[in-house]
Chains A and B, each alone.
Chain A
Amino acid sequence: AQTVTQSQPEMSVQEAETVTLSCTYDTSESNYYLFWYKQPPSRQMILVIRQEAYKQQNATENRFSVNFQKAAKSFSLKISDSQLGDTAMYFCAFMGYNNNDMRFGAGTRLTVKP
């Protein structure tokens, strides 16, 4: 079974600084998808970034980028120029290529300080 581990329950960063959130996963599949979701205090789940395992190039979305290390089964999220609105829970998630269910990590609570 696939598992997703986020080893940092809480993190904080100063506004405008850069922060990296860690995620590791376990799978025997070679093709799969990885995601980072943001959950602000409103509790809505918002897709931040998506990576397809067969693509070597790291995905980027504006200030958000990932460091995908397939051999190490690592998928970290880097947030550059952190903003107060980035304060939220961040969930890493895994989905197998032929599956419909998404497996989430336990989340990292990020606080951006002014």
Chain B
Amino acid sequence: EPEVTQTPSHQVTQMGQEVILRCVPISNHLYFYWYRQILGQKVEFLVSFYNNEISEKSEIFDDQFSVERPDGSNFTLKIRSTKLEDSAMYFCASSEQGNGGYTFGSGTRLTVV
């Protein structure tokens, strides 16, 4: 069964450093998403991406966040200057149509120290 692949599975970074989280969505999917889950809390929407541009973003997705699809397969989330409160599980997801039923990746656990 097709999978969404995320790398790395766990990343530790110093506060103030830039991090790039990587995702390879399912190849025929057109809609891409990033969500995050602070430990023990609910899953929160960050951003959706379609047709090479952001289609929606939440209030969490401020200027320190950016997304990119640098080639035909990767979809990245960059955090420019990490803060302690950015520590969370970050999930990438993709869907063939923009009506839910996403396939999620297995997540990247980001720890900011």
Contacts and interface: CB of A to CB of B under 8 A. Distances in A.
Chief secondary structure at chain B's binding surface: strand
Contacts of A33: 99-101
Nearest to A97: B99
A55 interface: no
Interface residues of B, number: 27
Interface string A29-44: 0000101010000111
Given A106-B42, A107-B42, A100 B102 contact: no
A99 B33 CA distance: 12
B98 interface: yes
Nearest to B56: A100
A46 B55 CA distance: 24
Interface of B: 31, 33, 35, 41-45, 48, 50, 55-56, 58, 89, 91, 93, 98-107, 109
A46 B42 contact: no
24 contacts: A35-B101, A37-B104, A43-B89, A43-B106, A44-B104, A44-B105, A44-B107, A45-B104, A47-B102, A47-B103, A50-B100, A50-B101, A91-B42, A91-B43, A100-B31, A100-B33, A100-B48, A100-B50, A101-B56, A102-B35, A104-B43, A106-B41, A106-B42, A107-B42
Contacts of B107: 43-45
